[in-house]
Amino acid sequence: MSSLLPYLINGISLGLSISLVALALALIWRTVGMIDFGLGAVYLLAAYAALMAKTWFGLPYVAFMAIGLVAGPIAAVAIYGGVYRTFIRRDAALFVLVLVSLCVHIATQHGLAALLSAQKFYLLDDIIPGWEIGGTRLNAVQVAKMFLSLAILAGLSLFFLKTSTGQAIMAVADNKRLAQCMGIDVNRCYRIIYAIAGFIVAVAALPEVTESGVDPYVATTPLFLGLAAIIVGGLSAFQYPVLGAVLLGLCFHLAVWAFSSQWQDIVAYTFVILVLLARPQGLFGGMRLVRERP
């Protein structure tokens, strides 16, 4: 049996990549009280904005990546203001919000396929440089995803702990009605959290599509893996979905080490089911299957 170290390194790399989408989902789940599959649409719009900036205007890599990063929060806030806000103001049931967000994702997915074709496009024509680390090769994109995941987690921690806006958002997440009584503008907090989540999703999407290419279905797997990471880690603190994502990434690669690549999905999703059976609140607690939105 081959050395375990390369599989651990690749598992952590995959987990930190998953953690960005998990973190964005967790922010909205805790603050707004909905499971937002519409972040898949944000993922796609950020990726396609970068692609169009490259193909239509011939911009260099840094420039079209910057456009993708701007497109993410704009798309997320637009979806909130144009679609979700009406349902939230009417106190729509959780399953209605989930269905609406899923419709947003599917409509965007198939709309892009109809308008731009389902063909895969690539943002880079050159081979991505990489390095040999611990017996495995990590390319520049994988290293960037790991660094960005940790940097965003640290930045969010500082934002929520050190800024008045971050503390206001946490107050809304804990008790919306009490926050309103204290004079906090809940709608403004929601717009900010969607902008942050949209930016995080764009940061997750752009390195991923640099490595694997852009097509209308590229967001589905990260979206469901991010949700699985939340289920594993729990929601009592924002770092727990990140830990859940790392555990999930390790499951994927340890399955390859112990068995073969055909067992990756079986082992990983069996792990999710076992966690739900043993600890429905998530390994680190705070998971609520149906969250009240007071």
Buried b / exposed e over 162-194, threshold 16 CB at 10 Å, is eeeebebbbbbbeebeebeeeebebeebbbbbb
* 3-state secondary structure (DSSP) of residue 4: coil
With a cut of 50, say whether residue 294 has pLDDT above it.
no
Residue 290: the pLDDT is: 39
Q: What average pLDDT is seen over the chain?
A: 89
d(CA 200, CA 190): 15
pLDDT of amino acid 54: 93
Whole-number Å distance between alpha carbons of 182 and 82:
27
- Model confidence band, residue 87 (pLDDT cutoffs 50, 70, 90): very high
252-270 pLDDT tens trace: 889 988 888 888 889 888 9
Residue 159 has pLDDT above 90, yes or no: yes
Residue 185 has pLDDT above 50, yes or no: yes
What is the residue type of 144?
Answer: A
Q: Which residue intervals of the chain are DSSP H helices?
A: 5-31, 39-57, 61-79, 85-89, 94-116, 140-162, 164-174, 176-181, 186-212, 220-233, 239-258, 264-278
Determine the average pLDDT of the residues in 189-205: 96
> Is residue 108 pLDDT above 50, yes or no?
yes
Structural domains present in the chain? 5-123+140-278 (1.10.3470)
Six token digits for residue 231: 């289920």
pTM for this predicted structure: 0.91
pLDDT tens, residue by residue, 124-134: 877 788 878 77
The size of the chain, in residues, is: 294
Proportion of the chain above pLDDT 90, given as a percent: 52
> Which token pair is 237?
């603190």
Q: Which residues contact 150 (CB under 8 A, 6 or more apart)?
A: 16
Instruction: Name the helix (H) or strand (E) containing 133.
Output: strand 130-133
Q: What is the pLDDT of residues 132-142, one digit of tens each?
A: 877 778 888 88
